Amino acid sequence: MGLNQFADMTAEEVAAKYLGVTEENLMNDLDGAEYYVAPEGLQQAKRQADWRSFSPKVLNQGSCGSCWAHAGAATAEITYNKMTGNRVTFSPQQGLDCTQWTCSGGWPQDVLYMYTTMAPIQLVYYPYEQKKNSCMIAPSSIPKAKSYYLLNQSKD
C-alpha cells in the first residue's frame, strides 16, 4: 500500500477526526428503534451476484463523518440502477443537508426515508461538499421511492 492522507497520522488522530460512531452512542441511538422486515412473498436475493455494474463510484467523505449519507445514497442508487439498467450516482450531500443528521454521524435508513419524501438528486447536480448546508430542492429525473425495508440479519 502506498502513501495516502492517513500516513502521517496516529491511530488516535484518525479516530478523533474520522470515526464519529462509538459503541456507546450507537447503543443509545438504537434504543427503542423500530425494525422492518420484508413482506412475505418478497423474493430472496441470489446468494451470489455480480454487483459491479450497479455499484456507485467510490467517494471520499473527507473529514465530515457522513459515511451514513454515503451508505444510504449508495444503497438506493444500486437498487435504482439495477431496476432501470442506468448507472447514476446519487448525492450523499442531499442526505447530509436534507435530514436532521450532521458530520457527527447519522443513519443510512434516514436517507432511504428521505427518498420517499423527495426525489434523489444525482451527484453531478448536487456535489458533495464535506459539510452540512441548507437542503437544496431541485428537479430530478429520478422518481421518489415508494417504500423501503430494513431487513433483520438472519443466519440463512
For the chain, what are the domain ranges? Answer: 20-27+51-150
Instruction: Select the more confidently predicted residue: 52 or 27.
Output: 52
Instruction: Select the more confidently predicted residue: 141 or 6.
Output: 141
Q: Residue 5 carries which DSSP code?
A: T
Long-range contacts of 79-84 (CB under 8 A, 24+ apart): 80/120, 80/142, 81/53, 81/54, 82/54
Domain covering 20-27+51-150, topology: Cathepsin B; Chain A (3.90.70)
State the DSSP H helix or E strand holding residue 129, giving kind and residue range, or none if neither: none
How much is the pLDDT for 38? 42
- Per-residue pLDDT tens for 35-87? 443 444 444 555 566 667 777 778 888 889 999 999 999 989 988 888 888 88
pLDDT band of 11, cuts 50, 70, 90: confident
Burial pattern 8-41, b for ≥16 Cβ within 10 A else e, equals eeeeeeeeeebebeeeeeeeeeeeeeeeeeeeee
Sign of CA dihedral 100, 109, 73, 68: positive
How much is the pLDDT for 32? 45
How much is the pLDDT for 12? 81
For helices 108-117 and 67-84, angle between their N-to-C axes, nearest 10 degrees: 50
